[in-house]
Structure 1
Amino acid sequence: MPDGATTGQRSANQRWAEPGSAHDRLVKWTKIVLPSAVGVLVAILAVAPLDKKGDVSFILDKKKVQSAPERMRVEQARYTGTDDKGQQFTMTAGRAVQRSSDTPLVDINGMFATLNLAQGPLLIAANQGRYNLDTQQVAVNGAIKVAGADGWRLQTRDVTVDLKQRQLASHGPAQGAMRLGQFRANQIHADLGTHTVVLDGGARLKIVQGAVR
């Protein structure tokens, strides 16, 4: 009897391991189902923290926060406001860095401002400057270009632009160009709303013939 039982068990195991047997089908099914189940589990774990009902916690190292070199840095920053006449202005910056929350000064790179005027939008572009969030003034270091919808142009450098009062002024010698011609002076002041430029001290103006007709 033991030999017969052993032989029968051996025959059953052989049939179980044969290709196309139930065991073979179970192995193939497992190869398909288990990876799918793992994928579903990973997806659930990945989405779970985004569930509004779930809570996500983290630990913030206080020492590392205190040693951060800058308070806030924003890429593609956008600032909006209104001037003294209630007209909207918008200023965007490729990069804006506020060194400390104690000061309203923001270092900006790639400045582009738009002032909405009655005669059309006025565009202001500069490479870098410092924006005062309280006074809404931009101290531009380097070149600045101003262009109006009616063809008015102004190019100069090292000035302060008051977006709220729509004024531009230099704190030292400045030179530039506009439709009338090239200019140079110890100081300049421009009213961006009326498109007028005042040259103060050592004024030099080279008028382009036929520029104004």
Structure 2
Amino acid sequence: MDGYSRLVAYLKVLLPLMALALMSTMFLISRGVNTDAVIPFAQQDLEDRTRGQQITAPFFSGTTAQGDEIMVTAAIARPGGSGKPATAVNLEAEIRMIDGGRIMLNSETGSLRPDKDMASFRGDVEILTNDGLRITTQELNTTLSAVQADSPGPIQAAGAIGDLTAGAMQIDTKTEGGPVHMVFNNGVKLLYDPQQSER
């Protein structure tokens, strides 16, 4: 038997043994499986999810008779019960008016009453318009089939004309198909800033 044949014969035995030794070493030094792994959900999340039915990231959209688009989304929605409306968390709405105007609404919580054609935004409600007006209040009731809303409580607003406070506010059209107006009432106070309005 020449040297080459002898080398091949040794390698046929040696290489499989080396492979077996390497595999054994890998299994011996590998970390054990952690059987106490934590499920990536907080206990409160699990309790909330098992407490009742809910919908994640619901979406509602519609068009008014005048052609304005209304889109409503939420992080979570829970169906209503007997005499209770459906509720939502992190409620957001966008109203795109046919004349190019846009109103954005968002709040911490809210409720939907499609049977009454109504949605309510509650808790740190913020209203933004495309012309830079920002309004905050604690409650806003809106109609689902039209661009119509009212805030029965105090509001604060800031925009190009300055800072404004009022006891209540309505969003509505004066005539059918007419432009949308925001009407502030109940003790309106305006701090006018001419430099801000010139910007």
Q: TM-score, normalised by structure 2?
A: 0.61
Residue identity opposite 1:76 in structure 2: A
Residue 106 of structure 1 corresponds to 86
Paired residue secondary structure (1:134): helix
Distance in 2 separating the partners of 1:93 and 1:140 = 11
Paired residue secondary structure (1:80): strand
Residue identity opposite 1:164 in structure 2: S
C-alpha contact (below 8 Å) 2:167/2:188 kept by paired residues = yes
Residue 194 of structure 2 corresponds to 209
Paired residue secondary structure (2:67): coil
C-alpha contact (below 8 Å) 1:76/1:92 kept by paired residues = yes
Distance in 2 separating the partners of 1:121 and 1:198 = 17
Specify which of 61, 64, 76 is matched with residue 95 of structure 1: 76
Deviation at 1:95, TM superposition (A): 0.5
Residue 163 of structure 2 corresponds to 182
C-alpha contact (below 8 Å) 2:156/2:166 kept by paired residues = no
Q: How does 1:77-88 map to 2 (within 5 A)?
A: 77-88=58-69
C-alpha contact (below 8 Å) 1:152/1:195 kept by paired residues = no
Distance in 2 separating the partners of 1:146 and 1:163 = 16
C-alpha contact (below 8 Å) 1:160/1:169 kept by paired residues = yes
Distance in 2 separating the partners of 1:103 and 1:85 = 32
**Aligned CA distance change for structure 1 residues 140 and 201 (closer, same or farther; 3 Å):** same
**Aligned CA distance change for structure 1 residues 196 and 155 (closer, same or farther; 3 Å):** farther
Residue correspondences, number = 143
Identity %: 19
Q: CA RMSD, aligned part only?
A: 2.6
Q: TM-score, normalised by structure 1?
A: 0.57
Residue identity opposite 1:154 in structure 2: I
Residue identity opposite 2:191 in structure 1: K
Paired residue secondary structure (1:199): strand
Residue 35 of structure 2 corresponds to none
Runs of 4+ in 1 over 4 A off after TM superposition: 192-195
Specify which of 45, 54, 75 is matched with residue 73 of structure 1: 54
Mapped pair 1:124 → 2:105? yes
Residue 60 of structure 1 corresponds to none
Question: Whose relative contact order is higher, 1 or 2, with alpha carbons under 8 Å and at least 6 apart?
Answer: 2
Residue identity opposite 2:187 in structure 1: G
**Aligned CA distance change for structure 1 residues 85 and 135 (closer, same or farther; 3 Å):** farther
Once the two structures are superposed, what CA deviation does each residue of 1:88-123 show, in whole Å capped at 9, x if it has no partner? 2110000101132x5572111111111121214322
Distance in 2 separating the partners of 1:138 and 1:144 = 13
Structure 2's unaligned 5+ residue stretches are: 1-49
**Aligned CA distance change for structure 1 residues 184 and 148 (closer, same or farther; 3 Å):** closer
Larger of the two Rg values belongs to structure: 1
Paired residue secondary structure (1:84): coil
Residue identity opposite 1:178 in structure 2: A
